[in-house]
Amino acid sequence: MASALREGEVLLNGKDSHSDGVSSAVRPVAGGGGSLPESRPLLLASADEGDKSTSVAAPEGSPTSSPPPSLVTANRSRTYASVATAFMLEKADENVLPSTFDSLGAALQATPAQLGYVTLSRQLSMSLLSPAVGLLGHQGDRRVIVAVGCLMWGLSTCMMAYAVSVPEAAALCSVNGIGIALVMPAGQSLIADYYSDAQRGRAYGIINAVQAFGAMFGVIFATNVSGHEWYGVEGWRISWLLMGVLGLIVGAAFLVLARDPWFPAHRHSGRPAVHSQLAKLRSAFGAARSVLLCPSFVIINLQGLLGIIPFNALTFTMLYLKQLGIDNLHASIIAA
């Protein structure tokens, strides 16, 4: 009982007094009633400590023996690069829609208000699904979740190139939003699990910089490609198709290269589950409730909620610049 209480304190506080340079931001498995799942040790190596490693609690179903530190370090590097690439292309994909508003509106005979509804459909599906993805990542392999999200957004982006009506475009953008919702929370939690408290800020800072470059690439690429016809095909369709193909490639590569530290490829899955799925869900909801009761978390989300309103108004910046008569190249540079 004492060890279970201590494990719950470790997971909720995000810090283990015995962990030294190892990521302690593991996914909570306790809270909201019920007993804690049985855990097994898993080694996560810190880049600052060479071959030294520390044993931390891993969720139920993890391997009985810890992988070598060199393997953990290699997995972390590949996973981090895969997450960064996925996030970069996600931002590029996200900016294809506003960058092609004028061409898309002309082809679908859509007004700016209707184009706003298309954007809303994607944002709405992202917002509604993201909390559920957090619970899904608590139970399954996040490598698979991110890969499926990339494939889903890539496929919907490719299909968007063949859209012929506003309702069809809105439906495809909703699927696109679902794919993005699968990628973002699961990818961020992978980074948190692979890096220690001292390293995590730098890791997220690099990810944010990569995302900014992806957004700039998406704006410049989509705007300039959509302004021309390519072998008789409208440029905006080409830009959507090429971006979707990149998403499919990233999804397949992520499935091969990335690793979830709690669900490595060599884990044994034949052992029967100790707790029922209902108990696991109750535990996950309890952990989510503990996060929502954190004042700092609430304040950060409130400021984000207010700050995103004017930011989303900038979605129509490209359309506005083109209405002023600015050419595609200069408009894309200004918007990027």
The pTM (predicted TM-score) of the whole model is 0.71
pLDDT in tens, 25-57: 444 433 344 433 333 334 344 444 433 433 344
pLDDT tens-digit readout, 277-326:
667 667 767 777 777 788 888 888 787 777 777 777 777 888 888 888 88
Q: Look at residue 226 in the predicted model and tell me its pLDDT.
A: 85
Short-list 7, 10, 4, 11, CA closest to 284: 11
Q: In the prediction, which pLDDT does 210 show?
A: 93
Q: Which amino acid is at 180?
A: I
* Helix (H) or strand (E) run with residue 127 in it: helix 112-139
Fill in the DSSP letter of residue 273: P
- List all residues 6 or more positions away from 64 whose beta carbon is below 8 Å from its beta carbon: 40, 268
Q: Residue 11: what pLDDT?
A: 41
Pairing outcome for strands 233-234 and 53-58: unpaired
Average pLDDT over residues 120-146: 83
Best CA proximity match to 56, nearest among 10, 13, 12: 10
Which overall architecture, per CATH, does domain 70-263 show?
Answer: Up-down Bundle (1.20)
Top pLDDT among 125 and 273 is at: 125
Rounded Cα distance, 53 and 215, in Å: 37
Report percent pLDDT > 90 for the chain: 28
Quick one: tokens of 306? 């207010």
71: pLDDT confidence band, cut at 50, 70 and 90?
Answer: low
pLDDT digits (tens, 9 = 90+) for 146-193: 999 999 999 999 999 999 999 999 999 999 999 999 998 889 889 988
Rounded CA-CA distance 90/180 in Å is: 7
pLDDT of residue 149: 92
- Average pLDDT, whole number, for the chain? 76
Digit-coded pLDDT (tens) for 76-96 = 889 999 999 999 998 999 889
Question: Which pLDDT belongs to residue 317?
Answer: 83
Hey, is 229 helix, strand or coil? strand
CA distance 45 to 79: 14
Nearest Cα neighbor of 64 from 72, 55, 73 is 55
Structural domain boundaries in the chain: 70-263
